[in-house]
């Protein structure tokens, strides 16, 4: 609850309207799903986006992040580029212990293109192993694809203990289709559990003067 309240405060300061979701452990089945498929809370958000809105794009994020103050003025430009690049997924926040630029292209982060107009931001490809659910954009078409593939069949199978545990399952939400990331990121993980990758990612991307 504290993390959710912190996120509400951050988005309010940025004048960005959002819907907030708390992890739901009301039943044993939900507990089982959450432990087995860590992306279940993401699927709940994606489900509501698809079935309760008519928006062409959805922006989704976790509740343990800092948000860049550029996010609101940059979003119209980013959505224009999203369409121009025919993307299904764009990562606005992700876990890397380094800044993504052309020096790390050989690791799967090849340069894609600059943002429209003059900007310090660039688009890059990224490898399947990158964890990028800190903040991301989905096209409506791809959001529906994710629901069709995972929400009923896969999640239902987990609830019935018919599939094996799947680690790093958030990767399933962001490692398919036409995709890119933006660098520098517009969301940065906030380490709350002393996780080594979180700490290294914060060191690489967080700047107190730029993030809330």
Q: Report pLDDT digits (tens) over 166-198.
A: 434 566 778 878 999 999 999 999 987 889 999
Smallest Cα–Cα separation from 2: which of 22, 19, 31? 22
The mean pLDDT of 56-75, rounded to a whole number, is 93
Number of neighbouring beta carbons within 10 Å of residue 69: 15
pLDDT for 77-135, tens place per residue? 999 999 999 999 999 999 999 999 999 999 999 999 988 776 789 999 999 989 888 99
Range list of β-strands (E), the chain: 57-61, 65-67, 89-93, 111-114, 122-124, 135-139, 179-183, 187-189
Residue 126, SS3? coil
Residue 23 scores a pLDDT above 70:
no
User: Rounded to an integer, what distance in angstroms lies between the CA atom of residue 134 and that of residue 195?
Assistant: 14
pLDDT for 40-65, tens place per residue? 678 888 999 999 999 999 999 988 89
Give me the residue label for tokens 């948000």.
Answer: 67
Residue 165's φ and ψ, nearest 5 degrees, are -60, 135
pLDDT bucket at 154, cuts 50 / 70 / 90:
low
pLDDT bucket at 1, cuts 50 / 70 / 90:
low
Residue 26 scores a pLDDT above 70:
no
pLDDT of residue 148: 87
Residue 34 scores a pLDDT above 80:
no
């Amino acid at each position: 609850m504290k993390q959710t309240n912190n996120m509400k405060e951050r988005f309010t300061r940025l004048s960005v309207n959002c819907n907030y979701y708390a992890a739901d452990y009301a039943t044993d089945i939900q507990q089982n799903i959450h432990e087995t498929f860590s992306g279940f809370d993401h699927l709940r958000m994606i489900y509501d986006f698809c079935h309760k809105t008519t928006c062409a794009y959805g922006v989704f994020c976790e509740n343990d992040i800092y948000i860049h103050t550029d996010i609101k003025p940059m979003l119209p430009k980013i959505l224009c580029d999203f369409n121009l690049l025919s993307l299904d997924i764009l990562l606005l926040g992700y876990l890397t212990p380094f800044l993504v630029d052309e020096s790390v292209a050989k690791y799967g982060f090849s340069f894609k293109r600059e943002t429209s107009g003059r900007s310090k931001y660039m688009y890059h490809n990224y490898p399947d192993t990158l964890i990028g659910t800190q903040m991301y954009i989905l096209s409506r078409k791809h959001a529906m694809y994710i629901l069709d593939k995972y929400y009923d069949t896969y999640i239902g199978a987990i609830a019935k203990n018919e599939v094996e545990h799947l680690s790093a399952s958030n990767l399933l939400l962001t490692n398919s289709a036409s995709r890119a990331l933006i660098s520098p990121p517009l969301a940065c993980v906030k380490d709350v559990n002393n996780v080594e990758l979180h700490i290294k990612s914060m060191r690489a991307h967080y700047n107190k003067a730029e993030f809330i």
